[in-house]
Amino acid sequence: MLQVPYIRQNKELVLEKLAVKHFKETHLVDEILALDDKRKKLTLEYDDTQAQVNSLSKEIGKLMAQGKKEDGEAMRAKVNELKEHLAPVNEALNATEKELLDTLVKLPNLPSPLVPPGKTPEENVEVKQHGDIPALYEGAVPHWDLAKKYDLIDFELGNKITGSGFPVYKNKGARLQRAMIQYFLDYNINAGYMEYAPPYLVNETSAFGTGQLPDKEGQMYHATEDNFYLIPTAEVPVTNIYRDEILKDTELPIRMTAYTPCFRREAGSYGKDVRGLNRVHQFDKVELVQLAHPEKSYEALDEMVAHVESLLQSLQLPYRILRLCGGDMSFTSALTYDFEVYSAAQQKWLEVSSVSNFESYQSNRMKIRFKEANGKPQLVHTLNGSSLALPRIMACILENNQTAEGIHIPAVLQAYFGAGKIQ
RNA sequence: GGUGAGGUGCCUGAGUGGCCGAAAGGAACGGUUUGCUAAACCGUCGUACGGGUUAAACUGUACCGAGGGUUCGAAUCCCUCCCUCACCGCCA
């Protein structure tokens, strides 16, 4: 969430930037400032009255110790009077603080100046395209057919065990999946990221911290008995590792990577691009998370983009990089680059990675801060990106690398996979 | 799941109603001195939100797992929840 003092000092700029995101409820800005004024006023009243209570209470203690009971009793009556006045003030203050927070989380993050102004996915800006679109042989088919032909993935079996969108990987399909996870993690570790294996269920506080709660609650699976949420991405548990911590500036940047399954209800997205691996409820992903100094977070973003790019290049997949426009960006992001790989058999681009800078939007929720020598604590910037989401990479490798003699495995994966081909 | 003991600052750890935002030790940081990769000594050493100031200084409130309660006054008493440890039960 945004910081109130920032909103106060830059109100016009905030409104301009909200417009880039096509955010309509701009009245919230004034509401926030009004609530903050109210909060300050009530705080002042509460603090002053409580200060009187505190000092009188101390005197009562002294009087009682000296045996001056009557004076003490008189003062006690006075304190009780003050406290009667205090109760409604305190109540109003708590209610105002809650309302302020509730309103504040309704404001999205502000877009960086680099964000294009568009509204729809068509208006995203292609920053780069790399690699040749492969010309497939005549018998080429989409990955769901290949999965059957080579016995790699069983979609129907997933229906039986759980429901739609829970594919079962088997044989070489399972092994290829595992090979990719291993390769991606190794690749990230070599680039200086520390590996974590975090929990796949998180509590409410963690889900709030990265911005999944309160507004995206319907997208997560909820284990109601214990009030835990199944993670929609490793971003949630990994970023929360440093929740409520104050780091030293010398510890930044912090680079973390984690493999986890991801669980997404995908409510409301039925019927669109759901065939095969294109959209599933459970999938595997290797994630990158960085905590960076505010002045260096855009360098970190570029570094992550370059990192994901080199990873895709090593897999020899044709890809393009999009800079998302204001209307297509996520609520919490300040700048996002999407990576898409080209699926030759489906003849379309599939998103496989999304790399974003959240600036201090998440860290303000999580209170992840750092301190320079003799300085005050300030918020870090958080970033994350996929490296990579597995299903669509799998789909593209199967489709783009299919030949009459089998499916060619990218050279960098062969050692992990244990063969050069699926036949 | 049951029973018992606990949760205090970066760490260890004292504190069972006012003198406690909190002893002491350690770590860390700054300095002095000596100087074979170190010791001794001195100092600093929480956070948030207000007031105040050009900025400071200064000052108020809150925070001793979380939330509530009792009291003139709570780290300290009571309740609920969360977590940790030990033992028992169950179990990969």
- The reply to whether the CB atom of residue A48 sits less than 7 A from any atom in nucleic acid chain B is yes
How far does the CA of A47 sit from the C1' of B60, in Å? 6
Q: Report yes or no on A112 lying in a domain.
A: no
State how far the alpha carbon of A18 is from the alpha carbons of A91, A252, A277, A379, in Å.
33, 30, 35, 21
ipTM, two decimals: 0.88
pLDDT at A136: 87
Instruction: Clarify whether residues A171 and A317 are in a common domain.
Output: yes
Select from A383, A389, A388 the least CA-distant residue to A255: A383
How far does the CA of A74 sit from the C1' of B31, in Å? 53
pLDDT at A270: 65
Q: Report yes or no on A303 lying in a domain.
A: yes
Angle subtended at Cα A220 by Cα A167 and Cα A305, rounded to the nearest 5 degrees: 80
Q: Residue A87 is part of which domain span?
A: 4-104
A344 has a pLDDT exceeding 90: no
Q: Report yes or no on A115 lying in a domain.
A: no
Q: Which nucleotide is nearest to A376 (CA to C1')?
A: B47
- DSSP three-state, residue A423: coil
Instruction: Clarify whether residues A95 and A148 are in a common domain.
Output: no
pLDDT at A206: 93
Instruction: Clarify whether residues A196 and A61 are in a common domain.
Output: no
Q: Which nucleotide is nearest to A47 (CA to C1')?
A: B61
Q: Report yes or no on A92 lying in a domain.
A: yes
Q: Which helix (H) or strand (E) holds A88?
A: helix A69-104
Domains: count for chain A: 2
pLDDT band at A74 (very low <50, low <70, confident <90, very high): confident
Amino acid symbol at A324: L
- Top pLDDT among A208 and A226 is at A208
- The reply to whether the CB atom of residue A377 sits less than 7 A from any atom in nucleic acid chain B is yes
Read off the pLDDT of residues A318-342 as tens digits, 9 standing for 90 and up. Answer: 999 999 999 999 999 999 999 999 9
pLDDT at A271: 63
**What are the φ/ψ torsions at residue A327 (nearest 5 degrees)?**
-75, -20
Q: Report yes or no on A261 lying in a domain.
A: yes
Instruction: Clarify whether residues A90 and A201 are in a common domain.
Output: no
* Helix, strand, coil in percent for chain A, rounding step 5: 45, 20, 35
CATH number for A161: 3.30.930.10
Instruction: Clarify whether residues A314 and A171 are in a common domain.
Output: yes
User: Contact at 8 Å (CB) between A215 and A340?
Assistant: no
Instruction: Clarify whether residues A92 and A241 are in a common domain.
Output: no
Cα–Cα distance for residue pair A8/A39, rounded to 1 Å: 14
Instruction: Clarify whether residues A240 and A384 are in a common domain.
Output: yes
Instruction: Clarify whether residues A187 and A259 are in a common domain.
Output: yes
Angle subtended at Cα A309 by Cα A292 and Cα A128, rounded to the nearest 5 degrees: 105
Cα–Cα distance for residue pair A223/A201, rounded to 1 Å: 9
Average pLDDT over residues A11-22: 96
Q: In the 310-349 stretch of chain A, whose C-beta falls under 7 Å of nucleic acid strand B?
A: none
pLDDT at A226: 85
Read off the pLDDT of residues A284-317 as tens digits, 9 standing for 90 and up. Answer: 999 999 999 999 999 999 999 999 999 999 999 9
In this prediction, what percent of chain A has a pLDDT beyond 90?
Answer: 80
A419 has a pLDDT exceeding 70: yes
Instruction: Clarify whether residues A69 and A127 are in a common domain.
Output: no
- Lowest mean pLDDT across A234-238, A245-249, A267-271, A279-283: A267-271
Average pLDDT over residues A61-81: 85
Read off the pLDDT of residues A183-194 as tens digits, 9 standing for 90 and up. Answer: 999 999 999 999
- The reply to whether the CB atom of residue A57 sits less than 7 A from any atom in nucleic acid chain B is yes
pLDDT at A127: 96
Q: Report yes or no on A113 lying in a domain.
A: no
The overall average pLDDT reported for chain A is: 93
- The reply to whether the CB atom of residue A46 sits less than 7 A from any atom in nucleic acid chain B is yes
Q: Which nucleotide is nearest to A52 (CA to C1')?
A: B60
Q: Report yes or no on A133 lying in a domain.
A: yes
Q: Which helix (H) or strand (E) holds A352?
A: strand A348-357
pLDDT at A241: 93
Of A78, A104, A130, which residue sits at a domain end? A104
DSSP letter for each residue of A30-54: HHHHHHHHHHHHHHHHHHHHHHHHH
Instruction: Clarify whether residues A143 and A73 are in a common domain.
Output: no
Read off the pLDDT of residues A132-151 as tens digits, 9 standing for 90 and up. Answer: 998 888 889 999 999 999 99
Q: Report yes or no on A109 lying in a domain.
A: no
- The reply to whether the CB atom of residue A227 sits less than 7 A from any atom in nucleic acid chain B is no
A180 has a pLDDT exceeding 80: yes
| Per-residue three-class SS string for A276-301 | CCCCCCEEEEEEEEEEECHHHHHHHH
Read off the pLDDT of residues A403-412 as tens digits, 9 standing for 90 and up. Answer: 999 999 999 9
Of A44, A72, A104, which residue sits at a domain end? A104
Chain B bases having any atom below 7 Å from a protein CB:
18, 29, 47-51, 60-62, 68, 72-73
Instruction: Clarify whether residues A93 and A11 are in a common domain.
Output: yes
- The reply to whether the CB atom of residue A369 sits less than 7 A from any atom in nucleic acid chain B is yes
Instruction: Clarify whether residues A229 and A175 are in a common domain.
Output: yes
* A287, HSE (Cβ side, Cα atoms, 13 Å): 25
Q: Which nucleotide is nearest to A65 (CA to C1')?
A: B18
pLDDT at A367: 93
CATH number for A46: 1.10.287.40
> Residues in chain A, how many?
423
How far does the CA of A54 sit from the C1' of B18, in Å? 11
User: Contact at 8 Å (CB) between A356 and A377?
Assistant: no
pLDDT at A272: 61
